[in-house]
């Protein structure tokens, strides 16, 4: 499991702006959703006015080909995720461009109401999204780590925990079954958090003593 540093994440988002599918990549990083969750989102799941995306289903693939909407991984996977203001702005522009593509394609465009769809209106196959958009974006950003698309989810969690966001808040954003699971998976972030906690205790407990 690997994750982006704050500097790398910023470079990644800048590089994503140059990609035709940059919004889905930014969405993946900012929400921490699983690929099968954000690729299953329909516009009725997005409230642009309130800036909230709700996970209600997932994309599943049949072995013989084809796809269908399935249930999310766990009961807690069904959740609402607040979106950063900049991402909401990007989604509005994404929707406008998507409408242009849909109108141009006419009846050939799949009527699935997907937020993130191919030019035919069908769900993205993760492999195609990775090869055509994710990896080229990493390259433009100068990121040489061997990241998986799923690592954008890990990056979101690691960045939030490193910023001292409460683990329960991070757990709910990820749709984990429990906070314990979140802490177990991201235990590598805890040492730096403990160091920061010690520095805060130093300030709270000893600064007044030194002043006196």
For residue range 70-83, list pLDDT tens digits in order: 999 888 899 999 99
Other beta carbons less than 10 A from residue 125's beta carbon: 14
Provide, for the chain, the percentages of residues in helix, strand and coil under a 3-state DSSP scheme, each rounded to the nearest 5: 60, 10, 35
DSSP annotation of 132: I
Rounded to two decimals, the pTM is 0.89
Q: What is the pLDDT of residue 15?
A: 98
Report the pLDDT value the prediction gives residue 196, as an integer from 0 to 100: 72
Q: Identify the pLDDT of residue 172.
A: 95
CA R_g for the chain: 19
What confidence score (pLDDT) does residue 190 get? 66
pLDDT of residue 65: 84
> For residue 121, how many other CB atoms are within 10 A of its CB?
17
Tokens of 139: 């390259």
Handedness of CA 150, 155, 158, 161 (dihedral sign): negative
C-alpha dihedral, 168 to 151 to 17 to 160, nearest 10°: 20
Q: For residue 45, give the DSSP letter.
A: G
> Which residues, given as ranges, of the chain have pLDDT below 50?
none
CATH class of the domain whose range is 6-151: mainly alpha
Residue-level pLDDT at 82: 96
The pLDDT assigned to 210 comes to 61
Buried b (16+ CB within 10 A) or exposed e, 11-28: bbbebbeebebbbbbbbb
Residue-range domain boundaries for the chain: 6-151
């Amino acid at each position: 499991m690997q994750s982006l540093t704050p500097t790398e994440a910023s470079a990644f988002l800048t590089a994503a702006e140059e990609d035709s599918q940059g919004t889905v990549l930014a969405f993946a990083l900012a929400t921490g959703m699983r690929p099968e969750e954000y690729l299953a989102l329909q516009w009725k799941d997005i409230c642009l006015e309130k800036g909230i995306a709700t996970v209600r289903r997932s994309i599943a693939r049949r072995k013989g080909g084809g796809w269908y909407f399935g249930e999310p991984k766990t009961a807690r996977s069904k959740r609402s995720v607040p979106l950063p203001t900049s991402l909401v702005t990007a989604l509005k522009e994404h929707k406008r461009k998507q409408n242009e593509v849909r109108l141009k394609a006419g009846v050939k465009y799949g009527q699935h109401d997907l937020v993130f769809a191919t030019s035919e209106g069908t769900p993205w196959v993760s492999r195609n999204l990775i090869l055509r958009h994710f990896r080229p974006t990493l390259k433009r950003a100068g990121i040489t780590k061997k990241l998986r698309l799923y690592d954008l989810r890990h990056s979101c969690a690691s960045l939030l925990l490193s910023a001292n966001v409460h683990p329960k808040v991070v757990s709910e954003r990820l749709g984990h079954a429990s906070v314990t699971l979140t802490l177990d998976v991201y235990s590598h972030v805890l040492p730096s958090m403990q160091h920061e906690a010690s520095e805060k205790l130093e300030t709270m407990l000893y600064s007044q003593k030194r002043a006196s």
